Amino acid sequence: MVKRDINYLSNIDISEIKGFGEKRIKSLNKSGIKSIVDLIRFYPRKHIDRSDILTIEDVRSLFEFKEITVLVKIVKVSVFTTRSRLRIATLLVSDETGDAKAKWFGPQYIETRFKEGDTVAISGVPDVKKTGSVEFKNATIEKYLEFDELNETGALIPIYKKIEGLSSTLIRKGIKHALKRTPEIEDYINDEQLTDYELLDRTTSLNDIHFPEGLSNYYKAKKRLAFDEFIYLQTIFKRKKKSNKLITGSEKIQSNNELMEAFTENLDFELTSAQKRTINEILIDMNKNSPMKRLLQGDVGSGKTIVAACAVYSASNAGFKSALMAPTEVLAEQHYNSLNPILDKHNIKTYLLTSSVKDRSEIINQMSSAEPVFFIGTHALIQENVVFNNLGLAIIDEQQRFGVDQRKKLIESSNIIPHQIVMTATPIPRTTALAVYGDLDISIIDELPPGREEIENILLSGLESDNNQVVDYCKQHLLDNSQIFVVCPYIDESENKDIKAAENVYEQYINLFPDSNVKILHGRMKSEEKELIMSQMNNGQIDILVSTVVIEVGIDIANATLMIIESAERFGLNQLHQLRGRVGRGSKKSQCIFHISNKLTIDTITDVGKQRLSAIVSTNDGFKLSEMDLQIRGEGKVTGTDQSGLSDLKIADLRYDFEILNLSKLFFNKEITPELEERLYLEATLLFPNFMKVEDTT
């Protein structure tokens, strides 16, 4: 038999499939189905199990009422219209073991499609009366000639996403036909490998994903097809990385080892070995004409900022500007406050640009100057529409908070192509990282600076006794001269409501702790006010700082040892982790209280809230949490809008398919020859058009 490959099949138009007229072809095209391959890869949403074929006698003794199929002969057809003009079509049917009735309510014209003497298959949930009579209501029925030709009954029936103008039946028939036309599809995995990797062959998988004999066949097919998708992804991204490396236009930034050593030795602390390793990876990349694109991942508090600062130092020494863009003013200011003194010692000028900075002319002049200065800012950095002169390095902090466009804009606002560092404290699970950042190189800081005590997690309900405990914890920390963060309920996207909630909580704490210095911080306050409060908190003058989520990222105060998150069930998992990361920065033992809303308990909040809270208290490891988060939220939310590439994944499920991903990586690295890779790449370009389009994820 001739084996057809994907490439060949993608050239066969669906107009060659029986039953698809012009109009339907238009609808199919609209849904992205143009070739036979597209049709075959239009995988079902689910299956309905009608595979249980029973005799009428079996039906009578059914213990539970479930969907079953009977194969019967029509004895009599009748139609009746009630006084309320409801049409009822009734078929009297029988097999060797007995007879049954099947009724349809409404205009389904059963009587025109079936006649006495026809053999039919009927699937539905039967009704068995006390007298033993069997009746189906609005069941699925089709003519039965040969078992193989049954389309809607007698098996696991695939259900597809709706396509306008096409019935499920028609889609099923079309796919069956397409599969028949392609009896053998060439497989890039040979028999021996199929056994070794416990995979099903391609042809069987494509058949069984639609029309499996049993569920286990379906799952095997699904595993194989998900495996293929991961293989394709790896092929695409390997190629992308390679071609990224061929792009030139960045300036080589050679780091001066002696200066760099002096720079790092001058810091207040010793770099962790993970920091040293990542700095090294970055410096090597920067010393190339092809732009570095590196994702710097590290848990909250792992010390990403100083790694970025080393890169800035190197760029500046070589005569290039750098820019660091942060998502919030508070964070940009904090970066400025911590990095400016360090860089200033080495005569590198740092400028802060946020919306609150009034006098911009000097900064804007500097953007186009020849000086190798460093800019820290919010998106205000890209709003000036100034072209940076010789921006050699662009750093995006907390990249998950920016859209693709904003990141791109920063990159494009230079006369040269800057090297790029993208930082995130929301580690991306392995599968998603492959799908979203496959073309970035990844550096991971997998170690926290030494001397940090593990944060203790405390989950408290909103019942009175627990509320009192919150107060007790506060007292203990205050006695110890430690400082406390209280983060207020996250209501929704509107900051006004958050501020209102924060003001209420603020009142409560003022009343509870009249002898302590309690302050409030929120996003609507003037920049000077915020800064004053932050510096007071920094200096230890404030005992309790009540705030909205503006505090979420960045803030770093070693003497703060208690974090109280009010209405914790309302926050997202990553948010909770970020907030918790605001304490545990120093050597004192820190605690984080997840306080459920007033009067509620873990048993009376939503399921999702419950899952998030049990996840957050179960571990302090951000990487683990982000995988849990993915499972709680579902991948849809993760993929979001600006990561459209993911829509190409038709069957691999980023939440659950880690093992298949790992298997595919193993296969990819061990078994794929250059020729095969070439072929798979070709197929991938056909099957993953969106991934091919995602030019830059940064």
Burial code (b: 16+ CB inside 10 Å, e: under 16) for 584-613 equals bbbebebbbbbbbbeebebeebeeebbbbb
User: Whose Cβ is closer to ligand ADP: residue 99's or residue 556's?
Assistant: 556
> What percentage of the chain's residues is helix, strand, coil (to nearest 5)?
45, 20, 40
User: What backbone torsions phi and psi does residue 154 show, to the nearest 5 degrees?
Assistant: 80, 5
Q: Is the dihedral of CA 387, 392, 397, 401 positive or negative?
A: positive
44 versus 581: smaller Cβ distance to ligand ADP: 581
**Nearby residues of 262 by Cβ (< 8 Å), 6 or more positions away:** none
| Rounded Cα–Cα distance for residues 298 and 446 (Å) | 6
Residue 230's nearest CA partner among 218, 222, 241 is 222
Nearer to ligand ADP, 340 or 685 (CB): 340
Residue 75 exposed, middle or buried by CB count within 10 Å (0-12, 13-18, 19+): middle
Contact positions toward ligand ADP, by CB under 6 A? 269-272, 275, 298, 300-306, 425, 449, 556, 585
Yes or no: say if 395 and 414 are a contact pair by the CB < 8 Å rule.
no
Closest separation between CB of residue 4 and ligand ADP, Å? 52
Minimum distance, C-beta of residue 607 to ligand ADP, in the bound complex (Å): 30
CA distances from 671 to 6, 87, 231, 257 (A): 20, 63, 11, 40
- Minimal distance, residue 298 CB to ligand ADP, in Å: 5
- Distance from C-alpha of 555 to C-alpha of 559, rounded to nearest angstrom: 12
Question: Which of residues 172 and 585 has its CB atom nearest to ligand ADP in the complex?
Answer: 585
643 close to 607: Cβ distance less than 8 angstroms? no
Shortest separation between residue 248's beta carbon and ligand ADP, angstroms: 31
Rounded-to-integer distance, Cα 253 and Cα 316, Å: 9
The smaller minimum CB distance to ligand ADP, of residues 56 and 555, is found at: 555
Burial label, 429 (beta-carbon count in 10 A; 0-12, 13-18, 19+): buried
Nearest distance in Å: CB 532, ligand ADP: 21
Query: At its nearest, how many Å lie between ligand ADP and the CB of residue 396?
Result: 13
Minimum distance, C-beta of residue 447 to ligand ADP, in the bound complex (Å): 9
- Give min distance, CB of 327 to ligand ADP, in A: 12
Backbone angles phi and psi of 239, in degrees to 5:
-65, -40
Q: Which is nearer to ligand ADP, 24 or 585 (CB)?
A: 585
E strand or H helix that includes residue 280:
helix 273-286
Residue (160 or 336) nearer to ligand ADP, CB? 336
Tokens, residue 285: 């990349």
For ligand ADP, the closer of residues 425 and 542 by Cβ is: 425
Min dist CB 620 to ligand ADP, Å, is 13
- Cβ proximity to ligand ADP, 124 vs 301, nearer residue: 301
CA–CA separation, 218 and 221 (whole Å): 5
Query: E-strand spans in 523-674?
Result: 544-547, 560-566, 591-595
What type of residue sits at position 9?
A: L
Distance CA 389, CA 374 (A): 12
Q: What does the chain come to in residues? A: 698
DSSP-H helix ranges across 132-214: 168-181, 191-196, 202-208
| CB closer to ligand ADP out of 303 and 429 | 303
Give 316 or 538: the residue with its C-beta nearer to ligand ADP.
538
Q: How far is the CB of 451 from ligand ADP (least distance, A)?
A: 7
Measure the CA angle with vertex 337, ends 342 and 498; round to 5°: 150
Nearer to ligand ADP, 49 or 531 (CB): 531
139 Cβ contact list (under 8 Å, min separation 6) = 102, 104, 122, 123, 124
What does residue 498 show for φ and ψ, rounded to 5 degrees?
Answer: -60, -40
53 has which bridge partners?
A: 69
Distances (CA, A) of 349 to 339, 418, 484: 10, 19, 34
Q: CB 304 → ligand ADP: shortest distance, Å?
A: 4
Q: Exposed, middle or buried, 74 (CB in 10 Å: 0-12/13-18/19+)?
A: buried
Q: Which is nearer to ligand ADP, 394 or 520 (CB)?
A: 394
Minimal distance, residue 349 CB to ligand ADP, in Å: 21
- Residue closest to ligand ADP, measured at CB: 303
What is the smallest separation between the CB atom of 629 and ligand ADP, expressed in angstroms?
Answer: 18
Minimum CB–partner distance for residue 593 and ligand ADP (Å): 21
Closer Cβ to ligand ADP, 36 or 576, answer by number: 576
